[in-house]
């Protein structure tokens, strides 16, 4: 196998959310009848149930009508839009952003992550990655030939108000030459939020050991139960090399426009733009206009959306409580629940495929988020509430057929 064959054999997408139709047919241990019900795809949010920010389409159309000026922007995004967004994000994160030099608009936060990793990970560089964390993080580190150093997040039994990241292990990793630490906050897939102390410690350790930081704050606008949320970049002690990633694709349901931003150290943004120039030039010009609606939603829109999602979360958690052996730490931010199941007689990978076949319900395999999560699956509960509850009931009914 040559180097590329090997690289791409590791870079699987068959179990990635939304790719299930591409899976090769395999023999499954099917037990019992199918349970009919409305199809629910928990691999991502449902923008029909939670519609895009009102006015987004109108702003897109205005952008289209603006013509050449909006179609061809600088690679880092249109200057006027960077200025609007930088101001909003400075206020949101509590730390200033220079619109000229410290922010880039990207085709989705996935691309922001890709560019940031490309800017910071060289061959053989040690990259610290949390387990569990967003499944693409490990794939990105591998793609850029980094060496992954896993950091455990003991989220289940964490002290109250903390995410449970193992800070001793993190410092040890930093001491041993880690160059970059990448993590999401709120965490994907568990929805836990890092405490103020955890964030401050990560920032000061990174400064002390000269480690670069990438923090993915994609879900930081959807915080439940009025919890405090701490932005890494607003800390007193921060490293020189740091970038924050955010976008309007989740709570705002604007995923269909593919928009993200990264903001932080000038030299990282410069590299990201150089890379963007050969990756895809820019975020779709007309789509960039939609960022004008961001942090500018109609009065009460975000609060109502958060309330709706908190309610769906609570209903699903109440349902899980009735089934012995299942559990999930209540989501603190974002739309994910990382559900632990009792021991099953089939692998989690097969179980997910069986559930899809028998209940028309798609969930994401736990092992995508770390090799040890062999009894777990992730759901994005940004769905129609009744359909979601019914789908989880069907899933749990089928689960009983495989309980060890």
Q: Kindly list the residues in this chain that would bind a copy of itself in the complex (CB under 8 A).
A: 2-4, 7-8, 11-13, 16, 18-19, 21-22, 41, 44, 46-48, 51-52, 57, 60-61, 63-64, 67-68, 70-75, 79, 106-108, 110-111, 113-114, 119-123, 136, 139-140, 143, 255-258, 270-271, 273-275, 277-287
Tell me which residue of 239, 227, 173 sits closest to 200, measured CA to CA.
239
Closest to a copy of itself by CB, 26 or 68: 68
Closest to a copy of itself by CB, 359 or 383: 383
Closest to a copy of itself by CB, 271 or 393: 271
Nearest approach, Cβ of residue 329 and a copy of itself (Å): 26
Closest to a copy of itself by CB, 195 or 241: 241
Nearest approach, Cβ of residue 75 and a copy of itself (Å): 6
Nearest approach, Cβ of residue 46 and a copy of itself (Å): 5
Closest to a copy of itself by CB, 259 or 320: 259
Nearest approach, Cβ of residue 369 and a copy of itself (Å): 15
* Whole-angstrom distance, CA of residue 339 vs CA of residue 398: 15
Nearest approach, Cβ of residue 42 and a copy of itself (Å): 12
Closest to a copy of itself by CB, 128 or 320: 128
* Whole-angstrom distance, CA of residue 48 vs CA of residue 235: 38
b/e code 209-240 from CB counts within 10 Å (16+ = b): bebbbbbbbbbbbbbbeeeebbbbbebeebbe
- Cis-peptide into 186, omega within 30 deg: yes
Nearest approach, Cβ of residue 192 and a copy of itself (Å): 24
- In this structure, the number of other CB atoms found within 10 A of the CB of residue 55 comes to 15
Closest to a copy of itself by CB, 51 or 303: 51
* Whole-angstrom distance, CA of residue 47 vs CA of residue 117: 29
Residue 174: strand, helix, or coil: helix
Q: Are 242 and 116 in contact (CB under 8 A)?
A: no
Nearest approach, Cβ of residue 331 and a copy of itself (Å): 21
State phi, psi for 106 to the nearest 5 degrees: -130, 160
Sign of the alpha-carbon torsion through 219, 128, 378, 331: negative
* Whole-angstrom distance, CA of residue 206 vs CA of residue 108: 27
* Whole-angstrom distance, CA of residue 385 vs CA of residue 246: 26
* Whole-angstrom distance, CA of residue 235 vs CA of residue 200: 6
* Whole-angstrom distance, CA of residue 49 vs CA of residue 72: 33
């Amino acid at each position: 196998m040559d180097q590329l064959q090997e690289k791409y054999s590791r870079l699987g997408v068959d179990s990635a959310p939304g790719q299930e139709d591409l899976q090769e047919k395999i023999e499954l241990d099917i037990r019992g009848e199918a349970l009919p019900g409305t199809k629910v795809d928990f691999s991502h949010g449902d923008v029909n149930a939670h519609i895009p920010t009102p006015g987004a389409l109108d702003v897109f159309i205005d952008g289209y009508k603006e013509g050449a000026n909006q179609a061809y922007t600088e690679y880092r995004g249109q200057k006027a839009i960077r200025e609007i967004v930088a101001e909003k994000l400075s206020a949101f994160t509590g730390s200033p952003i220079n619109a000229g030099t410290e922010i880039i608009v990207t085709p989705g936060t996935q691309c922001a992550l890709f560019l940031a990793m490309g800017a910071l990970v060289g061959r053989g560089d040690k990259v610290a990655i949390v387990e569990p964390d967003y499944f693409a993080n490990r794939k990105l580190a591998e793609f850029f030939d980094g060496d992954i150093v896993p950091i455990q997040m003991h989220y289940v039994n964490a002290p109250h108000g903390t995410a449970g990241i193992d800070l001793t292990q993190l410092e040890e990793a930093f001491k041993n030459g880690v160059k970059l630490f990448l993590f999401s906050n709120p965490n994907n897939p568990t929805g836990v939020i890092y405490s103020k102390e955890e964030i401050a410690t990560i920032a000061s350790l990174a400064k002390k050991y000269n480690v670069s930081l990438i923090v993915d704050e994609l879900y930081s606008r959807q915080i439940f139960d009025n919890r405090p949320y701490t932005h890494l970049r607003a800390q007193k002690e921060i490293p020189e090399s740091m970038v924050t990633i955010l976008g309007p694709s989740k709570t705002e349901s604007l995923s269909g426009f593919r928009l993200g931003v990264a903001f932080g150290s000038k030299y990282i943004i410069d590299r990201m733009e150089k890379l963007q120039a050969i990756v895809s030039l820019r975020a779709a010009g007309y789509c960039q206009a939609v960022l004008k609606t961001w942090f500018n939603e109609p009065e009460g829109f975000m609060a109502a959306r958060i309330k709706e999602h908190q309610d769906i979360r609570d209903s699903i958690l109440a349902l899980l409580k009735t089934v012995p052996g299942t559990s999930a730490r209540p989501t603190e931010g974002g739309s994910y629940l990382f559900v632990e199941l009792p021991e099953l007689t089939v692998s989690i990978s097969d179980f997910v495929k069986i559930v899809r076949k028998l209940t028309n319900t798609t969930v994401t395999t736990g092992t995508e988020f770390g090799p040890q999560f062999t009894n777990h699956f992730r759901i994005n509960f940004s769905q129609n509430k009744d359909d979601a509850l019914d789908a989880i009931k069907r899933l749990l009914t089928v689960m009983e057929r495989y309980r060890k």
